Chain A
């Protein structure tokens, strides 16, 4: 099943590199429930990797393992060629793994700009004291990071809502702001948990375009969970399929489409 993909250039000119993240034999239990059962797969530099599966298959749990919110009982997480020890989520974020959440986790009381600026926190190095007195380096750093954030705001076309408190935005825009905050961290690996859940067709098209553009322009590696099969097949380079915590498929969209087990899981299979 495991495909041996060598570094290569895709038909549309994107560079797929070596293995960025390697998950080996991950098992995650909540009490007696096994949410993830001995799953292994890898994510290669520069690719868009989708994780799909029916409800309750363990997709979000998988993403939470990668981002350090859950700690698997078994298995190893390898990142950039080194085994990653058990880490708190904020330490994982500092390694260069940014994420968005299924149910949007933004700072509702803060403006769009401030929300995205929090994404730059890991890049700001000046200390507490110089920040307090707003010393030269601190002010310069703030300006530099602000410039990065403004570029992202332009890129995602949210200039108009820059100063609006996030709590007042409609759902689709919140999703976009969350993506902007994750991008602001200039992550090596970007995790998107159902970036298109609850969106209408038009919003989905916008979001798909942004995801492709991010991958294309910044070369960001993206791992995403999505329900909409059409979107997944269009976007991703490779797909992992999960069902009841097991991996039932792994390959290119074309391979997945032809995989009988996947078809059964999605369409149901007659038991006679």
Chain B
């Protein structure tokens, strides 16, 4: 095999891995959109908030240290202990569930039956609020997140693939973190699908998404289901936050990964879990391949805009996305 071809394969594989991370964020959007018809602009900030909280708990940071110190004249910053990663993740899941409950109880419960655009506006407000609270709680420094996910190129893949090429081919370089992220994402998606399809709460969740009145008539508590949905979205956000945080540090620009999820959603359709995954993969592979093939001809840096142009094309020719529900109105 020629070196060029092998290099292209490597580009595609790396694209797939990046796509998995995009899909992870998009998944959080789809989950909430399907179950409550809310387009949750705050999904990216939830990922940031999850990652910040995780780092804070792990490092034994005192939450709201600035306010406490300013009010009481103390000088508290650290509890002086560190929490093992697994325990910290469990605690953070608890925080995300609490957050879900608060978001539902204080915001969305009062907006039941409102226009979608109003719900959307509320999530924008929520996004800024969460970003502020995250800053207030844990400070605005860039933090490194190390939950023990292996990083760096995988020697195993390198050795395995080095035989494919000639003398000067050393095998594919694939980051272990990306491999881990893919495995986690696949498990998460399989778990979510199984949960939605085969458990009573999953069934109730789909029922609520379909028809509120009918759901009430069979004894489903809408409040419980909505808290459940926001909790799940919070957990997906946390997973995305951990993966992105481990990759590029926990910083406030993390909330912008939500923007990257938008083209993924337009491709895959807002209502489809498989769509979010396929959309993510297409965008991941597409932008890497485009950069590799067309990029050099037009001066590079195409990764910044390729996804959005692709999404735009989809909006023109197939507005419901690849897997989305076709909207047919009866006249």
Contacts and interface: CB of A to CB of B under 8 A. Distances in A.
A51 interface: no
Interface string B203-246: 11011011101111111111000001000000000000000000
Contacts of A91: 219
Interface of B: 194-195, 198-204, 206-207, 209-211, 213-222, 228
A108 B200 contact: no
Interface string A105-143: 111111000100111111010101001101000100010
A90 B219 contact: yes
13 contacts: A89-B213, A106-B210, A107-B206, A107-B207, A108-B210, A114-B206, A118-B207, A121-B203, A121-B218, A124-B200, A128-B228, A142-B198, A142-B200
Interface in A66-115: 67, 69, 88-91, 93-94, 98-99, 101, 105-110, 114
Interface of A: 67, 69, 88-91, 93-94, 98-99, 101, 105-110, 114, 117-122, 124, 126, 128, 131-132, 134, 138, 142, 181-182, 185
A109 B217 contact: no
A101 B212 CA distance: 13
Nearest to B217: A99
Nearest to B210: A107
A117 B203 contact: yes
B218 A122 contact: yes
B216 A89 contact: yes
A89 B221 CA distance: 9
A90 B203 contact: no
Contacts of A118: 203-204, 207, 215, 218, 220
Contacts of A101: 213-214, 217
A143 to B, nearest CB: 11
A181 B219 CA distance: 12
Contacts of B222: 90
Which among A105, A119, A132, A134 has the highest number of chain B CB atoms within 10 Å?
A105
A134 B221 CA distance: 22
B206 A122 contact: no
A61 to B, nearest CB: 15
Given A106-B214, A128-B201, A134-B198, A90 B206 contact: no
Contact of A90 (B199, B202, B210, B221): B221
Nearest to A103: B213
Contact of A131 (B201, B216, B219): B201
Q: Is the interface of B mostly helix, strand, loop or mixed?
A: helix
Contact of A98 (B207, B210, B217): B217
The 3 closest A-B pairs by CB, nearest first: A93-B219, A105-B214, A107-B210
A181 B214 CA distance: 10
Contacts, number: 89
Which among B195, B202, B215, B219 has the highest number of chain A CB atoms within 10 Å?
B219
Nearest to A95: B219
A105 B200 contact: no
Contacts of B201: 128, 131
A99 B217 CA distance: 6
B219 A121 contact: yes
Contact of B219 (A69, A94, A108, A134): A94
B203 to A, nearest CB: 6
Contacts of A98: 217-218
Contact of A107 (B200, B214, B216, B221): B214
Given A89-B216, A121-B218, A106 B211 contact: yes
Nearest to A127: B201
A108 B211 contact: yes
Nearest to B225: A90
Contacts of A185: 218-219
A134 B216 contact: no
A71 to B, nearest CB: 14
A105 B211 CA distance: 7
Given A105-B213, A121-B219, A122-B218, A110 B198 contact: no
A138 B198 CA distance: 10
A164 to B, nearest CB: 15
Given A89-B216, A105-B213, A110-B203, 16 more contacts: A88-B216, A93-B217, A93-B218, A98-B218, A101-B214, A106-B210, A107-B210, A110-B206, A110-B210, A117-B203, A122-B218, A128-B228, A131-B200, A131-B202, A134-B198, A185-B218
